[in-house]
DNA sequence: TATGAATGAGTATTCATTCAT
DNA sequence: TATGAATGAATACTCATTCAT
């Protein structure tokens, strides 16, 4: 067997074990919440001793960062797939992207919590290393890029496209929080329907800024 | 002096001391964040020893619950004041209520964090006691009631009014999360302006359900 | 009982408990060496749980610093007592001070180790806090002050008095190290006799610098 | 090729690798101090993995012992060279030996630390194996032998020669400790000058024991 | 009602060493 | 001979909570 093949297989085994730990971490932290997802608990779930984890990850932070990275990968893939399946119509693409984003987090509550936890500096006092933070933020922004692009195709200028992206992001996140914390039950409302309603009310095309803000209820 | 009077005065003194602790807890937790707000820190800030707190609150959870209750009181008052100042026009009342809600949490990030922390079961393994949870949820619903009422006045049936409330709630919360976690900076967007834009797009009057979902971008 | 009396007794009890821990720390670290004197071991020896120690001492460093402080107190007392009993003759006072210093550490090997360990930064990465270090160093210097004073009384100028102190300090410390590490057995020599021999060879009076360094063996 | 030749070459290769590790250990431990010189750090510096070290050394202790052995070799060589260069005069030889000893450790603080660490049982609970300890002690004694020989040449009997060696050893070690721990700064004294002053005060010739102890300051 | 002491389980991380491959 | 993975016990320190006084 060649050295290359050996190295390759070693790497694969290594990745497998890293993934094993990451999966364990995911399970623990979906079951116990982020606070309860200590190194010991993760190690136990993965069938390791606490110290063994450090052979594969430098830090608790590193584990969470990897977890979040994979989550963002899945998110990006989901959004891209939805957009690709939505055809050429910008409005349809916008809706597909936004709903894919919403659906992704609706089905993976842990991922939403993870994202907010990390970005908020949940790992203080150390906090997420600034470069990691920047990288992950960029990936998050990338995942939602199709929304902005669709808005631009619908006549939005740069600022309006960014605003539309942030607004849809916000709406989705807000509904998801209400959903996952059970608060939406107070209103017997279906969060997905609300998300769709929100998208329904978006303008069919964007206008120059001066013509905005005049036809609403408030 | 009657026993009743004595008891009454004792109760008053007691309430005062509870409030003293709650104020201290608020200060600590706004200064250090939820993670840093341990019992010792709260006690020190209140001028007590750690053990003494347990004569006034059963738990750390109880402190946070009381804190959240008072926060909801202030929120309710803020929304009600805004609505009262908005005149008779239902659209204006809706907007006033929603913006008051938004502004309240925009200025008090800690209160938002507290709310989500408690409602999410941040205090596992015990979690928030079910009756407390119900009571606090009811107060939260009450704070937003003016939104639903205004929607009803604009033609919404019961379900639509509830949906509108939940939706506005979600939008505000989502934007606030983006805001407080710094994520909105990715988009260089102003969360308050986005909230207003959201309200602008609400229908001027509510229609029968069948006519919904046909005029938007998606 | 007056509040003062109560407070006084509380303080006394507190001091007692601190001393209990310090004694335990001393025992542990004389038995196991400084490396083995972890918080757990100290706590166990003192009959406490590990966490309880922190009620009485902020740090491991604080424990060692207190231990060293007490050691220096005892050293100073021993030297002063010896000097006081030596009469007015400066030469006798010098010898008494130096031998008292030597004898103190000859009988308390742990104290010597403790001193060197702490001063050397054994507690890295944090190291002994600079102000503590300065204070302890000052007390150490104070303990040896009688040597310098006696040298001055014997005609030494300031620099020579300091040099004499450092030199005697060094000789004592070196012999003690050889003694406590068992290395002196290689030479079948008695460290105390060597210390006395060293003192014997000191000049009866100090001369101007130019006349020094001309009558020795080297 | 004979088996012997093969074995011989293997041994040589082995020694080379041992030396590689020892050099790495020296570098690590001079750079990071004894505390920071873990097996992992040494292995990394040597270009090995941690486990591989154990094929060449049984222990961390074994590494340190070997290191100390080599240090003593260098010390012996340094002292011998100095003595060889000092001519025939015993007083000059004594001074040369003692100053070479002093200078060696003045320039290699790590070697001094290493020596004391090992001899003190720094590697508890096991401690330095007794035979190793004896062997190293013998080499240490050998390094200082020229001092005793010179003293003998100056009239010292066996006991006096041994005492003189131990005493000079002690003085040097003590001054070096004061020097390396920074304590000598308290006295603004130059340790090398003090060492020379100590040698200056040694007797020009040794007398019968009865005449000792009568001309000093104490 | 309050204090101060104490508990016990918890935290992340490090280390020398072992062992299957 | 070497690797890479793993162990298990160790480290200092923190926290919510309890309880005798």
Q: Which of D165, D169, D202 sits opposite C217 (nearest CB)?
A: D202
CA/C1' separation D65–E14 (Å):
24
Each residue's pLDDT tens digit in chain B (218 positions)?
566 666 677 778 888 999 999 999 999 988 888 877 899 999 999 999 999 999 999 989 899 999 999 999 999 999 999 999 999 999 999 999 999 999 999 998 888 888 877 766 543 444 566 777 788 888 999 999 999 999 999 999 999 999 999 999 999 999 999 998 888 999 999 999 999 999 999 999 998 665 444 444 54
Confidence (pLDDT) at B214: 44
* Contacts of D71 by beta carbon, 8 Å cutoff, 6+ apart: D108, D111, D114, D115
Residues of chain D positioned with their CB less than 8 A from the CB of C212 = 197, 200
Residues of chain B positioned with their CB less than 8 A from the CB of A207 = none
Confidence (pLDDT) at A125: 43
**CA pair distance C167, D183, nearest whole angstrom:** 12
* Contacts of A124 by beta carbon, 8 Å cutoff, 6+ apart: B33, B35
CA/C1' separation B54–F18 (Å):
10
Confidence (pLDDT) at D5: 67
pLDDT digits (tens, 9 = 90+) for C61-76: 899 999 999 999 999 9
The mean pLDDT value of chain D amounts to: 87
Confidence (pLDDT) at A3: 57
Radius of gyration over every alpha carbon of chain A, rounded to an integer in angstroms: 21
- Which of A118-127, C32-41, D20-29 has the highest mean predicted lDDT (pLDDT)? D20-29
- Name the protein residue, with chain letter, whose CA is nearest the C1' of F10: C38
Confidence (pLDDT) at A162: 97
* Contacts of A79 by beta carbon, 8 Å cutoff, 6+ apart: A97, A100, A101, A104, A143, A144, A146
CA/C1' separation B61–E11 (Å):
21
pLDDT digits (tens, 9 = 90+) for B139-152: 999 999 999 999 99
Q: Residue C164: in which H helix or E strand, if any?
A: helix C158-180
Mark A104-121 as b/e (b = at least 16 C-beta within 10 Å). bbbebbbbbbbbbbbbbb
Q: Residue A183: in which H helix or E strand, if any?
A: none
Residue of C125, C160, C170, C173 to mutate, interface with D, max D Cβ within 10 Å: C170
CA/C1' separation D65–E13 (Å):
29
Residue A175 has pLDDT above 80, yes or no: yes
Location of structure tokens 């990006």: A76
pLDDT digits (tens, 9 = 90+) for B181-211: 888 999 999 999 999 999 999 999 998 665 4
% of chain C surpassing 90 pLDDT = 63
pLDDT digits (tens, 9 = 90+) for C155-204: 999 999 999 999 999 999 999 999 988 889 999 999 999 999 999 999 99
Confidence (pLDDT) at A212: 47
- Name the protein residue, with chain letter, whose CA is nearest the C1' of F4: D49
Point out the nucleotide closest to B126 (alpha carbon to C1′): F16
**Subunits with 3+ C-beta pairs closer than 8 A to C:** D
**CA pair distance D186, D173, nearest whole angstrom:** 18
Q: Inform me whether the C-beta atom of residue A210 falls under 8 Å from chain B C-beta atoms.
A: no
Q: Inform me whether the C-beta atom of residue C174 falls under 8 Å from chain D C-beta atoms.
A: yes
CA/C1' separation B13–F21 (Å):
24
Residue D42 has pLDDT above 50, yes or no: yes
Confidence (pLDDT) at C217: 52
Contact, A187 vs B204, CB < 8 A?
no
Instruction: Name the burial class of residue C218, with classes exposed (0-12), middle (13-18) and buried (19+) by CB atoms within 10 angstroms of its CB.
Output: buried
- Name the protein residue, with chain letter, whose CA is nearest the C1' of E7: C49
pLDDT digits (tens, 9 = 90+) for A79-122: 999 999 999 999 999 999 999 999 999 999 888 888 877 665 44
* Contacts of D84 by beta carbon, 8 Å cutoff, 6+ apart: none
Confidence (pLDDT) at D3: 61
Query: How long, in residues, is chain B?
Result: 218
Global confidence as pTM: 0.86
Residues 14-43 of A with CB under 8 A from B: 32-33, 35-36
**Subunits with 3+ C-beta pairs closer than 8 A to B:** A
Q: Which of A33, A177, A198 sits opposite B177 (nearest CB)?
A: A177
Q: Is the CB of D27 under 7 A from strand F?
A: no
Touch between chain D and chain C: 3 or more Cβ pairs under 8 Å: yes
Q: Is the CB of B205 under 7 A from strand F?
A: no
Residue A11 has pLDDT above 80, yes or no: no
- Name the protein residue, with chain letter, whose CA is nearest the C1' of E6: C52
* Contacts of C82 by beta carbon, 8 Å cutoff, 6+ apart: C96, C97, C99, C100
Which tokens sit at B63? 């402190």
Confidence (pLDDT) at B120: 62
Q: Do B163 and A193 touch (CB under 8 A)?
A: yes
Q: Work out the minimum CA distance from B112 to partner chain A, whole angstroms.
A: 12
Residues 101-120 of C with CB under 8 A from D: 116, 119-120
Of residues C132 and A112, the one with the higher pLDDT is A112
Mark D50-84 as b/e (b = at least 16 C-beta within 10 Å). eeebeebbeebbbbbbbbbeebbeebbebbbebbe
Confidence (pLDDT) at B134: 81
Using alpha carbons only, what angle is made at residue D168 by residues D183 and C142, rounded to the nearest 5 degrees?
Answer: 30
Straight-line distance from the first to the last Cα atom of chain C, in angstroms, rounded to the nearest whole number:
73
The mean pLDDT value of chain C amounts to: 87
Residue numbers 9-28 of A with CB closer than 7 A to any atom of strand F: 10, 13-14, 17
Residues 41-80 of B with CB under 8 A from A: none
């Amino acid at each position: 067997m060649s050295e290359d093949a050996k190295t390759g297989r070693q790497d694969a085994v290594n990745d497998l074990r890293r993934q094993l730990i990451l999966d364990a971490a995911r399970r623990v932290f979906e079951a116990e919440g982020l606070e309860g997802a200590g190194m010991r608990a993760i190690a136990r779930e993965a069938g390791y001793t606490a110290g063994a984890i450090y052979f594969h990850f430098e830090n608790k932070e590193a584990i969470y960062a990897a977890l979040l990275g994979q989550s963002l990968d899945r998110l990006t893939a989901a959004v891209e797939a939805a957009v690709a399946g939505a055809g050429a119509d910008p409005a349809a693409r916008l809706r597909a992207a936004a709903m894919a984003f919403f659906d992704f987090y609706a089905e993976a509550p842990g991922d939403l919590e993870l994202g907010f936890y990390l970005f908020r500096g949940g790992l203080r006092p150390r906090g997420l290393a600034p470069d990691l933070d920047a990288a992950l933020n960029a990936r998050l922004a990338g995942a939602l890029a199709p929304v902005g692009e669709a808005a631009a195709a619908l006549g939005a200028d740069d600022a309006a496209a960014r605003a539309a992206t942030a607004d849809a992001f916000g709406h989705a996140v807000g509904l998801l929080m209400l959903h996952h914390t059970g608060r939406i039950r107070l209103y017997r409302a279906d969060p997905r329907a609300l998300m769709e309603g929100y998208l329904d009310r978006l303008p069919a095309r964007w206008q120059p800024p001066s013509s905005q803000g005049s036809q609403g209820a408030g």
